[in-house]
A and B are shown apart, each in its own frame.
Chain A
C-alpha cells in the first residue's frame, strides 16, 4: 500500500492553501486528491471579480485567484492527482481513491486534511408544489453551464433565492442576453452582499421581491411559468398576493451545505448547525490527525478567509506529523454563543495547544443593528466590538490570544455574545 505523510482531500482553494502551508512547515510527502479534471474547485466557474481583496489587495476573478495558489503549489512541487475521487477514509486514515486510468488504490496517511467544499441544497428539499418540468436548475449548475460549458439554459428567467450565487447569475444571464424578470427571496432581507444587489440587480433594473416565494410551477414537460406570492411572518403564502411570471428557466439559489459524506462515514463528530465537523483550536476533528478547512467545515462567503483558515489547518497538520502537537489532555474549553449567534468555529479550545492566536468565526441568525459583539471568559468581558449591523450573510470573527488565559486563568467556558447597544450609542464600527 502507498504511504503518505499528508493526504489532502479536495484541490479547491482550501486544499491548495492547506498544502502550501504544510509544505512551508517542512512536510514534503504530500498528496492532493481532486475529483475534477483540474485544481481550483468552485472558483473555476466563478468568473466574476471580487476575489482576493484581503489576500492580494486587488480584485481578481475566481479562476485568477485559484491560479495564484495553483502556481504556488507548482513552484513548491506539491504532488497532486486530478480526476481522482476519494471514496472512503477509515478512522485509521487509510484512504480508498479511484482514478480513471489507474483504477482503485489505497493510501495510508499519517494525517488527512478534509477540504471537500460544499454543494447546493437540492431542490427536492424546497417543497415547491407541482410538476418538475425541464428548465429548473440550481444557480450553481447554471453558472457552470454558462461559464464553463458556454451554454445558456434559457431566455426568460426567474430566480428564487437572493444569496450571492443567485445575484451573480442574474447579472450573468442578463449579459448573455436572457431577460431576468425577477429575483424572489423568502426572507425579509437578502442573504447576498450589498455590492451584489447594486451591481447585479440595480445596474440592470432587475426587481428583488423580499418575503416572496414560488407557490406554483406551470408546465409539465417544459417550464412555462411560475407563480410568486408574498409570505407572512411564518413564511406562509398570503392568499390574493399571487403574481404569475411566464418563464422558461427557474434558478434556485437556496443555500449551500458542506459536503460531508466522507466525514460522517469516518465517524467524525458533526456540528448540527454548520453541518460540518466539530473542530478545536487546531481545526482538528474528533479523530486525531484529521483536520478540516474551507466550505466543508462551514460555508464561507469570502475565499480569502478560506485560504487563511486552510493555512492554519496545514500548519497544524505539519505539527501533528512531526510530533510537535501536544496531545489533548482534556476535553478543552467549550465556546458558547449567545444572543442570536448561531454557531462558532472552533467550538472547543485548548489553550495549551495554541501556538498562535486563534480566530473564532461565527454567524448570526438574523439581522441586528446597533449592537456589540463581546468575548467573555466565563463572566469577564475581554473584548467588545461595536457593529452598526450584523447580518447572516457576513461572517464575523473574534481573536483569542493565549495571554487572555494567562491573565484571567482557565475559564469553564468561552462565550461569544451579541448584545444590544444603547439607543444613543451611535459610534461607528470599531474595536474597544
Chain B
C-alpha cells in the first residue's frame, strides 16, 4: 500500500486529495468535496497527461509557437521539449501545420499554433 497526496484542479477549492494505492490499483480517494475530485485523482495517479506548449526555431531566425496535438503522458514532457529544442523548421509556417509527426515515441504530432514569417 502507498499513499499519494494531490491538489484537485477542478475548482478553486483546491481540495487536498489522499489516494491510497495498491501498486497500480486505486484503493480509495479521500479529501474530495465532490465527485470531480475522485475522477481527477484516479486519472492523475494512473495516467497523468498534459498538452505541451513551447516554441520551435525557424531556419531564418525567430520562433513559432507549437503544441502537442493531444495530451501526452506527463513523464514524456521533458523528452518532448528536448526534441523540439533541436528542431529547426523552415518558414513560413501556417497555424495547424504539423512540425513533428511523432513526439517522444507517443505517436502524437506537434502542430504550429500561430503563423510565422
Contact = CB atoms under 8 A, between A and B. Distances in A.
A194 B11 contact: yes
Interface size range of chain A in the complex: 20 to 34
A195 B7 CA distance: 9
Contact of B55 (A49, A150, A202): A150
A194 B9 contact: yes
B50 interface: yes
Contacts of A175: 52, 54, 77, 81
Interface string A388-432: 111101100000000000000000000000000000000011000
Nearest to A64: B113
A17 to B, nearest CB: 19
A203 B74 contact: yes
A61 B113 contact: yes
Interface residues of B, number: 28
Contacts of B74: 203
Contacts of A194: 7-9, 11-14
Interface string B56-91: 010000110101000000100100010001000000
Given A47-B65, A175-B81, A391 B50 contact: no
Contacts of B67: 47, 49, 61
Contacts of A64: 95, 113-114
A172 B8 CA distance: 22
Contacts of A177: 85
A249 B12 CA distance: 30
B103 interface: no
Contacts of A203: 50, 74, 77
B1 interface: no
Contacts of B7: 194, 197-198, 202
B53 A48 contact: yes
Interface in A143-201: 146-150, 172, 175-177, 193-195, 197-199
B12 A391 contact: yes
Chain A CB within 10 Å, residue with most, of B8, B9, B12, B55: B12
Interface of B: 6-9, 11-14, 33-34, 50-55, 57, 62-63, 65, 67, 74, 77, 81, 85, 95, 113-114
Given A47-B54, A203-B50, 14 more contacts: A47-B114, A49-B51, A49-B67, A61-B113, A63-B114, A193-B12, A194-B9, A197-B7, A198-B6, A198-B7, A199-B9, A388-B13, A389-B13, A391-B12
